[in-house]
Structure 1
Amino acid sequence: MNSITHELPLRAAPHAHDRSSVDRIMLKVCLALSPATAYGLYLFGWPAIILFVVTLLAAVATEALCLRLAGLPLQRLLDGSALLTGWLYAATLPPWAPWWIGAGGVAFGLIVGKHLYGGIGQNLFNPAMLARVAVLISFPVQLTTWVNPMPLGSELAPGFVDALAIIFANADYAAHLSAAPSGVDAMTGASWLGASKVAVGAGTDVGQWLAADFPLTAAFSGHIRGSLGETSALLILVGGLWLIWARVISWHIPASMLGMLSLCAWLASHFNGHLFPGPLFQLTTGAAMLGAFFIATDYVTSPASATGKLLFGAGCGLLLFTIRSWGSFPEGVAFAVLFMNALTPLIDRFIKPRAYGRTLGGKTLKHSDMRKIV
């Protein structure tokens, strides 16, 4: 009997699977992120490419170290979870941030936010967002310095050697440009979310300011200052809709998060248009789209039930609007998601999904009713 047990160990349900697996899911999410990321790398050139690669390599190296220390097989690297964490974290960074912001931040997120909880599937908080908040609080200057888009191959774009100096030696490329015969006066500046807060603080009518200065088309296409994940709201939206179509994620969290953000922005701008930007500004700037489709929808840190997902997404949208409007930082996606991550166990406790074969009240379904839901 014991020998049979050793040869045929019993495992927990489910015993029947579809073709989904962790590595397939991670691959699909990375594919959905690829168009927006590729466009962002093109817009911000070699420094962004180098930072992106360094962050991904640091994520894989940190994951390998943690697996080795835990005595787990390195084959688990192939599930792609560490790669996706590094990708999402890099997508939230200023494209020309120093290398140690990328490498150190993602290492912190994976160690503290994932492996201290027991590894994949056990973490309470999104590791990428935990890393983002930790680095933002510790190094606010580096995390709030944004560069204007300088597409690869353009006259002002740094070459590969200059990019190495920018990322690894913190070279002042702006001084280099201003000293050139065709120098440029301003290469960096605040994000549009940050600029709007400054305008409101200075007493400017934000509605008039946006009408005069805000390039909505550029914001939607992504040709504005921001992180890799804030490049093209259009490409992120397309990638997110593809994830819903492919059934990698459900529509509940993105719809409720963006819907609540839009509703709050519309109400605030309707009654105080001189202080609050409208829904289009809120949706096309910052990481709202990225957060709704790629961050808040994380399986492990979001609720299991459809109703719970709607509540979770609405909470993220409400918190995002609140932080953007009255918080110390212009962007609040990471803070909003982490706060709702902390509430996920509570949501799952009180809003439970219907068990297969049972009603919402827990009663066993009849055979005829079972055939209707299969």
Structure 2
Amino acid sequence: MGKLIVSPSPHDENYTKTSNIMLNVIIALLPAWGAAMYLFGARVLTLTAVCIGSCIFFEYVCRTLMKRSNTIGDLSAVVTGLILAMNLPVTLPYWMAVVGSFVAIVIVKQLFGGLGQNFANPAITARIVLMVSFPSAMTNWVLPLNEKFDTVSAATPLVLNGMDSEKLAKIGQSIPDYKDLLLGNTGGCLGEVCALGLLIGGIYLVVRKIISLSAPLSFIGSVFLLSWISGDDPVYQILAGGLFLGAFFMATDYATTPITEKGKIVFGLGCGIITFVIRHFGSYPEGVSFSILLMNVLTPYIEQLTRTKVLGAKEAEKSEG
């Protein structure tokens, strides 16, 4: 007979390494990234390389200066750099991309203790900092399949959707149709233009059981429902902008989103409501990044409210002072 081994939990040894999870996220982003490469040209490659390279560099230097174990092998810095690049316009100067990488890795991630300790998504925070610091450069959109980036500018689909026919005629552009939004024939960030590529990547992550559908479905579904109630085109609203990128790749971040399924649903609903409010009533045409960042801050409270109560356990009584 075999010996009875008594040991503390966890007992399941079939765990997934962080590097494997990150590798799957990289693979899932490749369809949308490849579409951006086709639509905007070789500068997508160099901008992505700058983001990834600087993220790896800052993580290595940070960990070395802090005398902590090196973590670049877990590929989390690569994922942060790739997602940051997907949140940038192709025309952004490289030095600004490096600034974004510094904010993401040094300030948001490493100063809070590294992977799993950061309270907010590093790439989203970096995008918002860049948007506030360099608004002109961060909103310099160009038309796809055009090499003259300095002369041919374009508005994003959400901006075009808010214009009347007179303004559209003045700038010589039209509102993209569903096909344009799916395939990427629009202006926008690298990760916003091709909804089909993002959807393929999201499905891949679900099939590989890297993410659950709770947060993405509640996020996308709430934007769809609220847009329909308000009289907006709900299909257009979910295909345009960075909704798919945010829902599948940033609202599912392990470190900054709730662990429980109920919590994920609440998180997604909150993101959807805030995104709709910003798009419909705010001055910004896009609200995905702001919504996820705000919900990141609320994640500890969501987890506390949606946690599963242990059977037979009693809540600790508050002592009267």
Q: Give the TM-score of the pair, scaled to structure 1.
A: 0.77
Question: How big is each residue's C-alpha offset from its partner over 1:94-135, in whole Å with a ceiling of 9 and x where there is no partner?
Answer: 012110221111111111111111111101100111101111
Distance 1:100 1:261 in 2: 35
What amino acid sits opposite 1:318 in the alignment?
Answer: I
Counterpart of 1:107 (choices 102, 114, 117) is: 102
Percent of residue pairs bearing the same amino acid type: 36
Aligned partner of 2:36 in structure 1 is 40
Distance 2:214 2:92 in 1: 34
Aligned partner of 2:319 in structure 1 is none
Distance 2:8 2:100 in 1: 35
What amino acid sits opposite 1:137 in the alignment?
Answer: V
1:336 aligns with 2:291: yes
What amino acid sits opposite 2:154 in the alignment?
Answer: G
Question: How big is each residue's C-alpha offset from its partner over 1:1-26, in whole Å with a ceiling of 9 and x where there is no partner?
Answer: xxxxxxxxxx9853533241110000
Aligned partner of 1:145 in structure 2 is 140
Deviation at 1:147, TM superposition (A): 0.7
Distance 1:12-1:102 versus aligned 2 partners, 3 A rule: farther
Q: Is the 8 A contact 1:304 1:353 kept in 2?
A: no
1:86 aligns with 2:74: no
Question: How big is each residue's C-alpha offset from its partner over 1:327-371, in whole Å with a ceiling of 9 and x where there is no partner?
Answer: 2221111100000001100011111146xxx54x759xxxxxxxx
Distance 2:201 2:150 in 1: 33
Deviation at 1:281, TM superposition (A): 1.1
Superposition pairs of residues 144-163 of structure 1, within 5 angstroms: 144-150=139-145, 156-157=146-147
Root mean square deviation of aligned Cα: 2.2
Distance 2:289 2:8 in 1: 34
What amino acid sits opposite 2:178 in the alignment?
Answer: L
Distance 2:101 2:112 in 1: 16
Deviation at 1:231, TM superposition (A): 2.3
What amino acid sits opposite 2:139 in the alignment?
Answer: T
Aligned partner of 1:189 in structure 2 is 154
Aligned partner of 2:46 in structure 1 is 50
Q: Give the TM-score of the pair, scaled to structure 2.
A: 0.89
Gapped regions of structure 1 (runs ≥ 5): 1-10, 151-155, 159-171, 175-186, 205-209, 270-276, 364-374
Aligned partner of 1:321 in structure 2 is 276
Deviation at 1:312, TM superposition (A): 0.4
Distance 1:13 1:61 in 2: 36
Aligned partner of 2:60 in structure 1 is 64
Distance 2:59 2:308 in 1: 32
Counterpart of 2:187 (choices 210, 217, 225) is: 225
Figure out how many residues of one structure are paired with residues of the other and give that number.
304
